């Protein structure tokens, strides 16, 4: 049964991804099509592939840290605490952006998320270098996503005002 924690911790991030997909599904075909978006944005079909890969990497990285720290021990509080924070922020972005249509709030939230991922990487590095490096593509993707969120917010100024 030693594979059970690995499987569980690797799968955990996907739970938020499944919920995010549920929230996003209808909005991508309706509200999202009305937004002004930059020409350099990735195609819609890329997002589920990218997020599946990123969630798997971050989940497996959390398992490596958990294992190295001997489980949920005192040594694991900071690295897994930062991980939990960034995971909660990750899961919150989709309902803010796609569910509530709050572009500015989503931008603020994704900036906080990016910082939390950076803090997670720093806290993981001394525990397990591989785990920390597994978050590198995630951080890179968040930089792109933050730029995309900013451009959408900037180019759709009336969108936030409609909701208030």
In the chain, what are the domain boundaries?
3-34+43-158
**Mean pLDDT computed over 25-42:** 93
List the one residue out of 154, 27, 138 whose CA is nearest residue 87.
Answer: 138
**Mean pLDDT computed over 18-23:** 85
37 CA to centre of own chain? 20
Higher pLDDT pick, 87 / 24 = 87
List the one residue out of 43, 154, 19 whose CA is nearest residue 93.
Answer: 19
> 35: which DSSP letter?
S
Phi-psi sector, 134: left (phi>0), alpha (psi -120 to 50), beta? alpha
Q: What percent of the chain has pLDDT over 70?
A: 96
Q: Which CATH superfamily includes the segment(s) 3-34+43-158?
A: TspO/MBR protein (1.20.1260.100)
Is the whole-model pTM more than 0.85?
yes
């Amino acid at each position: 049964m030693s594979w059970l924690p690995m499987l569980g911790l690797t799968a955990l991030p996907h739970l938020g991804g499944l919920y995010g997909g549920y929230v996003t599904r209808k909005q991508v075909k309706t509200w999202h099509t009305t937004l002004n978006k930059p020409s350099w944005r990735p195609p819609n079909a890329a997002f589920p592939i990218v997020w599946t890969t990123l969630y798997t990497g971050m989940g497996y990285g959390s398992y490596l840290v958990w294992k190295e720290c001997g489980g949920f021990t005192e040594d694991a509080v900071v690295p897994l605490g930062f991980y939990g924070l960034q995971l909660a922020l990750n899961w919150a972005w989709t309902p803010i952006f796609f569910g509530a249509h709050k572009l500015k709030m989503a931008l603020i939230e994704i900036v906080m998320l990016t910082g939390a991922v950076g803090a997670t990487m720093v806290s993981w590095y001394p525990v397990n270098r591989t785990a920390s490096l597994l978050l590198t593509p995630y951080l890179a993707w968040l930089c792109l996503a933050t730029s995309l969120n900013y451009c959408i917010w900037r180019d759709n100024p009336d969108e936030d005002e409609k909701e208030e």
